[in-house]
Amino acid sequence: MLTSCLLTGVITSERDLVISILSFLKSGTGGERWVSSPAVIEQFAQHFAMNVTLGGTSVRAAIAMRKLGYTSALHLVTINEHVRRLIPQDSPYVCSNPKESAYPHLIVQFGNTTCVCAGDIELYTSRANRIIYHHDNDNIVMRLNEDFANLIADAPIFLISGFNAMQSKELLTYRLETLLRIMEKLPKDALVYYEDAGFYDASFSALIHATLAKKITIFSLNEDELQAHLGKKLDLLDALQVKDALADLQTQVRVPIIVVHSMHWALAYGQGAGRVAKALKGGVTMATTRFRYGDNFTVENYKEIEGLAPNPAGARFADAIQALLSEKVCCVPVAQVEQSNATTIGLGDAFVGGFLPALLP
């Protein structure tokens, strides 16, 4: 008999949580799921050693960028002692929450050879990935502080992310109207980068695209999100499949450039895609550095990864997709690394942190 979390998608107990984790392990995919109560997460976490870190694309990207010498202005929806301690200390910020709060997320990472054997369960993972579980009221409500406009008047690049946990379409519409008012303060030539995510309600993604499409320069997503948009699995090393997938996605997301980042390669698709070649290289280098060295990587680690040879499968794919799409695509293979105890959390955020500064002159 199917348990409630698989029938409804709602995780209401530790048992539901375990079943959800096992289903991800079986498929080898990553994703993001909402939990009915923070208590479920807290109870489950008590069984394990824990490490406090900051999440969210904007914050993790800012931390990665700072290691390369770049500062960012941040809009926060949560503030507490951990946030103040862990964000880059020279990053100006505003917070939309007048009170201190904390809604811990549970992030499960697994390797490409993880085995779970218990009773009649015998699972072997096919690839490394991560799963995110949360009940984060600050992200569900996603208040916006319009004072953020005062910090972006000279920003050459503007990153948008973080609406995926919202659960009210009416509230999301209102938040997007507020966001558009904030963006009026951007320089006219500012580049707007949107990082996609796994949505609580998939229809909200289409609403965001429709509202912001004319403002977005680059729409970015990972391989799991690409497949979710298309409603089918892809062979990520089959250039013909990916070529068709990119054309299908472009009918849904009408922006100048689509960026897809995966475990094998990252690519830009659209007219003039080649102009972000350096940024793609920066993105895959930063993500691979985090994959290998975790939170505490150094600039020396980054430079080491930057100089490594590409993974052979990714290099073959890059040549094949380039031959099919010519100047409409630019593809960079991920570096070849051997890592038995890899970090699979925050790789997309690290990609953004490596991609954005490489766009600057």
Are residues 200 and 220 both part of a single domain? yes
Are residues 115 and 232 both part of a single domain? no
Are residues 151 and 295 both part of a single domain? yes
Neighbours of 85 (CB within 10 A): 10
How high is the pLDDT of residue 8? 43
Instruction: Tell me how far apart the alpha carbons of residues 317 and 240 are, in angstroms, rounded to a whole number.
Output: 10
Q: Are 64 and 350 in contact (CB under 8 A)?
A: yes
The structural domain count of the chain equals: 2
Domain boundary among 85, 115, 135: 135
Are residues 299 and 165 both part of a single domain? yes
How high is the pLDDT of residue 327? 95
Are residues 111 and 188 both part of a single domain? no
How high is the pLDDT of residue 202? 84
The CATH code of the domain that includes 171 is 3.40.1190.20
Are residues 273 and 345 both part of a single domain? yes
How high is the pLDDT of residue 9? 62
Are residues 128 and 31 both part of a single domain? yes
Instruction: Tell me how far apart the alpha carbons of residues 84 and 82 are, in angstroms, rounded to a whole number.
Output: 6
Q: Are 21 and 41 in contact (CB under 8 A)?
A: no
Are residues 149 and 42 both part of a single domain? no
How high is the pLDDT of residue 7? 38
Q: How do the pLDDT tens digits run along the chain, 361 residues long?
A: 233 344 346 799 999 999 999 998 888 888 888 888 888 988 998 888 877 888 889 999 999 999 999 999 999 999 999 999 999 999 999 999 989 988 888 888 887 778 888 888 888 888 778 888 888 889 899 999 999 999 999 999 999 999 988 999 999 999 999 999 999 999 999 999 999 988 878 889 999 999 999 999 999 999 999 999 999 999 999 999 999 999 999 999 999 999 999 999 999 999 889 999 999 999 999 999 999 998 889 999 999 999 999 999 999 999 999 999 999 999 999 999 987 677 878 899 999 999 999 999 8
Are residues 126 and 59 both part of a single domain? no
How high is the pLDDT of residue 3? 38
Nearest to 344 by CA among 224, 234, 260, 241: 224
Calculated CA dihedral for residues 58, 59, 61, 63, nearest 10 degrees: 160
Q: What domain range includes position 1?
A: 1-50+106-135
Global confidence as pTM: 0.86
Are residues 248 and 111 both part of a single domain? no
Are residues 166 and 292 both part of a single domain? yes
Are residues 39 and 183 both part of a single domain? no
Q: Are 211 and 253 in contact (CB under 8 A)?
A: no
